[in-house]
Every structure is written in structure tokens, then in C-alpha cells.
A and B are shown apart, each in its own frame.
Chain A
Amino acid sequence: MTRVYVPRDSSALALGADAIAEAIEREAAARGASIELVRNGSRGLLYLEPLVEVQTAEGRVGYANVEADDVGALFDAGFLQGGQHARSVGLVEQIPYLRKQQRLTFARIGITDPLSTDDYVAHGGLEGLRNALKMAGADVCEALVESGLRGRGGAAFPAGIKWRTVANAQADQKYIVCNADEGDSGTFSDRLVMESDPYVLIEGMTIAGIAVGATVGHIYVRSEYPHSIAALEEAIQRARAAGWLGDDVLGSGKRFELFVARGAGAYVCGEETALLESLEGKRGIVRAKPPLPALAGLYGKPTVINNVITLATVPIIFAKGAAFYKDFGMGRSRGTLPFQLAGNIARGGLVELAFGVTLRELMFDYGGGTASGRPARAVQVGGPLGTYLPESQWDIPMDYEAYAAVGAVVGHGGLVVHDDTSNLAELAQYAMEFCTLESCGKCTPCRIGSTRGVEVIAKIRKGDMSEKQVTLLRDLCDTMVSGSLCAMGGMTPYPVISALDHFPEDFGLEPATQPAAAA
């Protein structure tokens, strides 16, 4: 019996993985070969998808970019014994792109069947939860503070301090909410967790519940991720059946219940207070802060709201200890970040590394340069609200503070590469357009500022009184940054101003005459 792996995550599916799995089963039956087909998660080496793997005595051998039509030839080449074929990539764990990574949060992805509880436990799952159950809630919060883990959704607020605030709040009901509204272009790490290792998120949320005294958790997933929703729902059901969730978590006598809620295509619901409104079934309109969600969150109750990666990182911290995790990283950016190499990049995928790596290393050592083969020109880091970084900034270490020092944001570690055919003025205008489409409308700088922003950039691009329009645009951006309620309006100027500062020629302006104003 040979074990064959065909991923089931949506990237592999979008490239025909189901047809490949069917073809392999059909061909094996026709040839009388005995196989066990496992639908594993993705390894995160998305440029190799669909990546079919075969278990051999030496390890798992990979066949990359497989198409259903290749399956016959793969059998002819003896792929069940790891035979050579044009699609061969050798032992998967020896591929430098994977071998050189520091996989902590993503230790299991691609290795296991994402929905198998046995696989999860066999690969270190539940160790963190078992350890946390032996600790007092307050100690769990303090250990998290000690680990240095900061919110991975973009704002980088220390997770342990948020937990401590909720733990100290007095209420008859508290909640854990997972922000899985991963709407930023260039990001897919949340999706990979949900589709390729959903139990790690369930475990992390359960630890959060125990730490702060919350008995109910909600995972708010965007509707654009149907595969993630299906995987989570199935995983929650199985976790409940296994006694990991419910009235008696792992026999501890503690209660924790988990539910999945679907978003409905509103980008701003990734903002935590808009998300809470949406979770309550209302329009996803941003709330004014204070009060903080930690004190008055879901239905006005104290609520821990963390991003998927933050919560999915909690189990390894409690499995290996805060000191272990804290050992990775630099400065005040501790641990690892799953960088997402996206856009015009030859080898796109997930690269989990300690903070401190540079954009250049990620783009070239891992990413292999652009997909188009043309020179890379600008990289947008941290999603649609992050700045465009020109080549002069590609050697800054990935660290929250080092990035903030140049007005950029690490955010969730998504990076979108653009080659030299890109027009940054067009992208700046698009950033404003996107804000007009997705603004919740509550505050004026965002709602009206974005519309004015589109108009002003269009005028600059047409050469219509450009100097005056540029002054106007900078003034408008300043108002949006200072006057918006949330990051939607407050950070839309980041890509706009960075494009204007670093690529004025795309706006039809003289490169030298621009002041290097910080965003």
C-alpha cells in the first residue's frame, strides 16, 4: 500500500486537484496498484501546486504542477516508487524554499490530513492546550505577554495584554472572536491555516477561552472563502466529538464552544469593531473607541478579538514555552511571521521566518524574482493599506518598528510585487477607488475623502494644474490619516503618498521636485 498525497486546499483545487485525485484513483485501480490517497493540506509552496507527493522509504517525494493528463505518464514513470519524471521535485522537505523556513505556526501544514484528529495529535497537536489547562488563567495570560506575541492581523498590539484586560474584566459572559475576514490582497496565511490545519486555530481559541474565562468563541470568516468555512465546520464537529470542545474540554471540566459565522463581502468588516457589528447581524459599521472590545465587545461583553495567525500561534507557545518562541525575531518583534509572497513573483507562497529578514531576501532568495522575468519595481507590503516600497527600501529588516520608522507597515506580512510595467499612479487611484467602494460611511474623511481622492489623482494624471492638485492631495491625505475612525480611511493614504513620493514620474511629475514627506 503506497500513500499518495493530493492537496485539498483551495489553491490546489483552483488548479484542478480534484481531477488529479480522481485520475490517480482510476489509474491505480486499472493497473491493480494498491494506494491510499490522502487529501493533505498545502505545504504553502503554492508555485508548485498542485503538488502531488508519494511516501517512499526515503521520505515524501514530490511531483509539481501536475495536471490530470500527466497521471498516466506518472504511473509509467513509476512514481509510486518515487520514480523520475519531468514533474519530479525530489524529496519535498529538502526543497530549499521549505527547508530554510522556520515553521512554528505552520509546523504541520501540508504534512497532515487537515481534518484528521489522529494526525493532529500525532504531530504535536493539543500539547499546548494540555499545558495551558494545568495553569491558572492569569498565568496563561502572563505567559503570552512573556512570549512577546503581537497581533498578527496588522496592528501588532501585544496579544497577552489584550488577554489580560479581558481576564480582569468582570462579566457574566465573555467571548473569544477570531477575525478570519482576510480581505487584504496579497494575503492567504489565514486561509492556509483554516484549510490546511484548522485544529490549530481551534486549539488556540480554546486556550484563549480558558485563559480569560470565556465559554463561547466565534470565527468570522469572509464569504469569499467557502473552502475555509467548510473545513472549519467539519473540524469543529470532529473536535466536539473528540471531546476537545464542549462542556468538558479534554476532561478538564472547563467549557468552550465554538461557532463559525460567515461574512458577506464587506472589506471593512476586517476592522475589529465593524466585525463585531457584523457578527451581531448588523451592517458592518465601525464603532468609535473607547470602549475597547476587550471591555465592551460582542453584545457589549468583554471580548478577545484576535486574527487567525495570532490565535494559531498560541498552541506552539504553550507547547514549547514562551522563552522558546521569544528566542526568534529581533527588537520588539518576537517570534516568526508567515510572509506571503504574492503578485508578480516567480515562486509565490508562504514563507514563515523569524522577524529580521529583508524584503530583498524574501523576493529573490525565496521568490526567485518576478513571474514576468522583468525587473521588480515596487512592492506593497501589508495589504491594500500598506505602502509601496521602492528598491531603496528593500534592505530594511522586517520588524514592526524599523518599518514604522520609514512610514511603512509590516502588517500581516503579505507582499505584492509589481514589475517595471506597473503604473503607480494608477495603483494609487485604485487605492482611493477601493476605499470609496468599501468605506462603511460612518466618518467623513473616509467616505468623502476617498471620492475626492479619486478625482484629484485623476486630475494629476491628466496634468490638470498638477502642482496645486498635488498640494491638495497631500492635504486630503493628511485629513484622512488624522481624522478617520479606523484604518480604512486612516491608512488608504499610505499607498497613495508612497506612490507619489517614490514614483512621481508615474503621475507625470518631475522626479526631483518632490519633497520626501513621510506618510
Chain B
Amino acid sequence: MEETAVSAPDDLVRRHAQPGRTLLAILHAIQDETGFVPPATVVPLAKALNLSRAEVHGVITYYHHFRTAPPAPVTVQLCRAEACRSMGSEALAQHVEAHTGCRFGQHGHDAEHPHAHVGPVALESVYCLGQCALSPAMMINGTLHAKVTPQKFDKLFAAAMTAVARAEEAA
């Protein structure tokens, strides 16, 4: 699959680094548009905000939310926190790994492969989606699902994969 065309880093920064916006808000705006924060934006961001490159890099890597590579077409984020654990999220995690043939990285912060994914699917652990009375919870491509059973996951996952295949055909 070809990578989506992304605006030049300078252009991205020029459009989003508006006066009064903090670095964090600018990074959000960039990721909202392109799906990730291209590493090439670090230098123009540092210049625009009169910060060192280390400071910009530090902020990007401090927060779990930011990615420095495009997300997988199907990204599964499973909650691994206490409430979901009490309702079998760890067993569900094993099922998800077996069903997809992928492994959970730590929310894009896998030490060996930061922000990387192999193939069209990425599995990420997240900690609390605020659905603790309806555990286990997960997001698939940003859409929230509660009371997820292995059967329900299989259906949701199949639907997500079909949607991706259809989008690729259309492209």
C-alpha cells in the first residue's frame, strides 16, 4: 500500500503554528491532519517556536498519543487497566493476538520498533477509555466499543478489514 501523500513539513508547520497555540496544540493539529507527526517537522517547529530541536523531540516522544510514522490501516487499541482486567481483558488480549497474528506493542512505544507496525494491523495497549462499567473496552480505528467479547471482536475486526480492503480497491 502506498503511503498517503503528506504536505511538506514546512508547509504543515506554517499552517498550524498559529500565534498563541502551544507546541502540544500544534502537534495535535498536525497529527489530526496527517495521522502522525512527521519527524521532518521537528526542525521547522523548533524554528517557529524558538525552541531547541531537543525540546520539540522531547515533547513528541513524551506523550503516548503522538506517532512519528503513519498508523496501521486497522489499529486496535485495547484497554489493559484494572477495570477491564477484572472483566477478562488479558484473556481477550490473547485472543486478539491469536486471531490477528499480531502482537501488542506498548501503544506505539515498543522500544525495538517505535511506532512501527507490520502489515495492515497494529495492536496497541491503552489505559482506560472511560467505559469501566462496561468492560472490556477497545477502540478500532478510533471507534469505541464496550463489553467486547472474543466473538464480538471477531465481527468488529472482520468489518474493519473489509472496510480497509474496500477503501484500497476504491483508491
Please list the residues of chain A having a beta carbon within 8 angstroms of any beta carbon in chain B: 10-11, 13-15, 46-47, 49, 182-188, 191, 223-227, 261-267, 278-284, 340-345, 348-349, 371, 380, 384, 414, 416-419, 422, 427, 430, 434, 437-438
Instruction: Give chain B residues whose Cβ lies under 8 Å from the Cβ of A380.
Output: 82
Q: Known interface pairs A185-B82, A226-B142. Does A14 touch B128 (Cβ–Cβ under 8 Å)?
A: no
Contact of A434 among B59, B127, B131, B137 (CB under 8 A): B127
Q: Known interface pairs A348-B132, A348-B133, A349-B133. Does A262 touch B82 (Cβ–Cβ under 8 Å)?
A: no
**What is the 8 Å Cβ interface bit string for chain B, positions 1-34, against chain A (1 contact, 0 not)?**
0000000000000000000001111111000000
Q: Are B22 and A262 touching (Cβ within 8 A)?
A: no
The size class of the interface chain B forms with chain A is: 35 or more
Q: Are B62 and A185 touching (Cβ within 8 A)?
A: no
Q: How far is the CA of A278 from the CA of B132 in the complex (A)?
A: 26
Contact of A283 among B58, B85, B126, B144 (CB under 8 A): B58
In the assembled complex, the CB of B83 is this many whole angstroms from the nearest CB of chain A, namely 4
In the assembled complex, the CB of B160 is this many whole angstroms from the nearest CB of chain A, namely 15
Q: How far is the CA of A47 from the CA of B130 in the complex (A)?
A: 14
User: 28 pairs across A/B with beta carbons < 8 Å?
Assistant: A10-B130, A11-B131, A14-B131, A14-B134, A14-B137, A14-B144, A15-B146, A182-B128, A183-B127, A183-B128, A185-B81, A185-B82, A186-B132, A187-B130, A191-B130, A226-B142, A265-B65, A281-B22, A281-B24, A281-B25, A283-B62, A342-B133, A343-B87, A348-B133, A371-B87, A427-B85, A430-B85, A438-B127
Instruction: Give chain A residues whose Cβ lies under 8 Å from the Cβ of B28.
Output: 223, 262, 264
Q: Are A341 and B25 touching (Cβ within 8 A)?
A: no
Q: How far is the CA of A191 from the CA of B131 in the complex (A)?
A: 10
In the assembled complex, the CB of A106 is this many whole angstroms from the nearest CB of chain B, namely 14
Please list the residues of chain B having a beta carbon within 8 angstroms of any beta carbon in chain A: 22-28, 55, 58-59, 62-66, 79, 81-87, 106-107, 126-135, 137, 142, 144-147
Contact of A340 among B24, B59, B132 (CB under 8 A): B132
Instruction: Give chain B residues whose Cβ lies under 8 Å from the Cβ of A345.
Output: 133
Q: Are A188 and B86 touching (Cβ within 8 A)?
A: no
Q: Are B137 and A46 touching (Cβ within 8 A)?
A: no
Q: Are B127 and A264 touching (Cβ within 8 A)?
A: no
In the assembled complex, the CB of A209 is this many whole angstroms from the nearest CB of chain B, namely 19
In the assembled complex, the CB of B104 is this many whole angstroms from the nearest CB of chain A, namely 13
Q: How far is the CA of A223 from the CA of B139 in the complex (A)?
A: 13
Q: Are A262 and B130 touching (Cβ within 8 A)?
A: no
**5 A-B pairs closest in CB distance:** A281-B22, A348-B133, A185-B81, A264-B63, A342-B132
Q: Are B130 and A343 touching (Cβ within 8 A)?
A: no
Q: Are A265 and B63 touching (Cβ within 8 A)?
A: yes
Instruction: Give chain A residues whose Cβ lies under 8 Å from the Cβ of B84.
Output: 185
Instruction: Give chain B residues whose Cβ lies under 8 Å from the Cβ of A348.
Output: 132-134
Q: How far is the CA of A57 from the CA of B86 in the complex (A)?
A: 42
Contact of B134 among A49, A226, A261, A419 (CB under 8 A): A49
Q: How far is the CA of A10 from the CA of B133 in the complex (A)?
A: 12
Instruction: Give chain B residues whose Cβ lies under 8 Å from the Cβ of A49.
Output: 134
Q: Known interface pairs A185-B127, A281-B22. Does A14 touch B135 (Cβ–Cβ under 8 Å)?
A: no
Q: Are B83 and A416 touching (Cβ within 8 A)?
A: yes
Instruction: Give chain B residues whose Cβ lies under 8 Å from the Cβ of A267.
Output: 127
Residue of chain A at shortest CB distance from B128: A185
Instruction: Give chain A residues whose Cβ lies under 8 Å from the Cβ of B81.
Output: 185, 384, 434
Residue of chain A at shortest CB distance from B64: A265
Residue of chain A at shortest CB distance from B129: A224
Contact of A281 among B59, B87, B126 (CB under 8 A): B59
Q: Are A417 and B86 touching (Cβ within 8 A)?
A: yes
Q: Are A224 and B86 touching (Cβ within 8 A)?
A: no
Q: How far is the CA of A278 from the CA of B62 in the complex (A)?
A: 10
Instruction: Give chain B residues whose Cβ lies under 8 Å from the Cβ of A417.
Output: 86
Contact of B86 among A47, A264, A418 (CB under 8 A): A418
Apart from A11-B134, A224-B130, what 16 extra A-B contacts exist at CB < 8 Å? A10-B131, A10-B144, A182-B130, A185-B84, A185-B127, A185-B132, A188-B130, A191-B130, A261-B24, A266-B62, A267-B127, A281-B59, A343-B132, A430-B85, A434-B81, A437-B127
Q: How far is the CA of A267 from the CA of B127 in the complex (A)?
A: 8
Q: Are B23 and A341 touching (Cβ within 8 A)?
A: no
Q: Are A186 and B82 touching (Cβ within 8 A)?
A: yes
Q: Are B133 and A419 touching (Cβ within 8 A)?
A: no
Q: Are B128 and A422 touching (Cβ within 8 A)?
A: no
Instruction: Give chain A residues whose Cβ lies under 8 Å from the Cβ of B24.
Output: 261-262, 264, 278, 281-282
Contact of A427 among B82, B126, B128, B132 (CB under 8 A): B82
Residue of chain A at shortest CB distance from B77: A224
Contact of B131 among A188, A226, A264, A384 (CB under 8 A): A188
Q: How far is the CA of A265 from the CA of B82 in the complex (A)?
A: 17
In the assembled complex, the CB of B98 is this many whole angstroms from the nearest CB of chain A, namely 20
Q: Are A47 and B63 touching (Cβ within 8 A)?
A: no
Q: Known interface pairs A10-B144, A281-B25. Does A188 touch B133 (Cβ–Cβ under 8 Å)?
A: yes
Which of A187, A342, A418 has most B Cβ within 10 Å? A342
Q: How far is the CA of A384 from the CA of B146 in the complex (A)?
A: 20
In the assembled complex, the CB of A66 is this many whole angstroms from the nearest CB of chain B, namely 14
Residue of chain A at shortest CB distance from B81: A185
Instruction: Give chain B residues whose Cβ lies under 8 Å from the Cβ of A188.
Output: 130-133
Q: How far is the CA of A188 from the CA of B128 in the complex (A)?
A: 10
In the assembled complex, the CB of A253 is this many whole angstroms from the nearest CB of chain B, namely 25
Q: How far is the CA of A280 from the CA of B25 in the complex (A)?
A: 9
Q: Are A342 and B83 touching (Cβ within 8 A)?
A: yes
In the assembled complex, the CB of A344 is this many whole angstroms from the nearest CB of chain B, namely 4
Instruction: Give chain B residues whose Cβ lies under 8 Å from the Cβ of A430.
Output: 82, 85
Q: Are A280 and B146 touching (Cβ within 8 A)?
A: no
Q: Are A343 and B82 touching (Cβ within 8 A)?
A: yes
Q: How far is the CA of A438 from the CA of B62 in the complex (A)?
A: 10
